């Protein structure tokens, strides 16, 4: 079980909260530094090793119920400790086709009591998807106010209730 948690704890040190009392240009610089740090070979290899360890541990369990229980425990730990995730996939590399693309999205599951901000970029535009498991718009409104206060033009493309299929496949045949 310890292997399930070790990657998340290491990553948390990199992703701790950026000091919002810093001027916005310093916040941006710090965020970019942290993204670059996470994208380094060592961090990527460490993440891959952790993923392989988790998969091997799950495969070595005898029953699907043991696997589901282990992942449920990991989810509970993450939900207790994670309030927000910023996921930056970077600039799209669609080449000549990019001029025809308005946006692209990469959605992932957010913490049960937190939120996730998915950021991507294509054709000179940045796309932010704010995904949260609650309907209160206080964080979204605060983010939009920050954009406005800093002279950043934006467009709200859509607001929707996100529904994902609850598909569970057996681990064994």
How many whole angstroms from its chain centre is CA 132?
12
Q: If you average pLDDT over residues 97-102, what whole number do you get?
A: 84
Q: How far is CA 13 from CA 25, 45, 126, 130, in A?
A: 22, 17, 26, 23
Percent of the chain with pLDDT over 90: 4
The token pair that represents 114 in the structure block: 């937190």
Query: 71-102 burial string, b = 16+ CB within 10 Å, else e?
Result: eeebeeebeeebeebeebeeebeeeeeeeeee
pTM of the model: 0.57
- pLDDT tens for 11-39 read 433 334 556 677 888 888 887 888 788 77
Q: 42-51, 90-99, 138-147, 163-172: which range is least confident on average?
A: 163-172
Asked whether residue 78 carries a pLDDT value surpassing 60, the answer given is: yes
Q: What is the DSSP letter of 95?
A: G
Q: 2-6, 33-37, 110-114: which range is least confident on average?
A: 2-6
Sheet with 125-131, side-by-side order of all strands: 84-91, 115-122, 125-131
Q: How far is CA 91 from CA 29, 66, 103, 164, in A?
A: 17, 39, 11, 25
**Mean pLDDT across the chain, nearest whole number?**
77
Which pLDDT score is estimated for 71?
A: 84
| Position 148 confidence tier, pLDDT thresholds 50, 70, 90 | very high
């Amino acid at each position: 079980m310890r292997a399930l948690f070790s990657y998340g704890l290491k990553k948390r040190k990199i992703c701790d909260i950026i000091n919002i009392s810093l001027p916005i240009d310093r916040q941006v610089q710090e965020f970019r530094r942290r993204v670059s740090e996470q994208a380094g070979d060592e961090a990527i290899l460490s993440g891959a090793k952790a993923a392989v360890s988790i998969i091997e541990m799950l495969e070595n369990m005898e029953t699907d119920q043991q696997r589901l229980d282990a992942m449920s425990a990991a989810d509970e730990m993450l939900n207790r400790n994670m309030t927000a995730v910023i996921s930056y996939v970077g600039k799209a590399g669609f080449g000549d086709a990019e001029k025809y693309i308005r946006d692209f999205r990469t959605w992932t599951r957010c913490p049960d009591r937190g939120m996730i901000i998915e950021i991507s970029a294509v054709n000179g535009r940045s796309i932010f998807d704010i995904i949260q498991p609650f309907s209160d718009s206080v964080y979204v409104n605060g983010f939009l106010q920050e954009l406005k206060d800093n002279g950043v033009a934006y467009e709200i493309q859509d607001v929707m209730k996100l529904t994902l299929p609850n598909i569970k496949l057996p681990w064994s045949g």
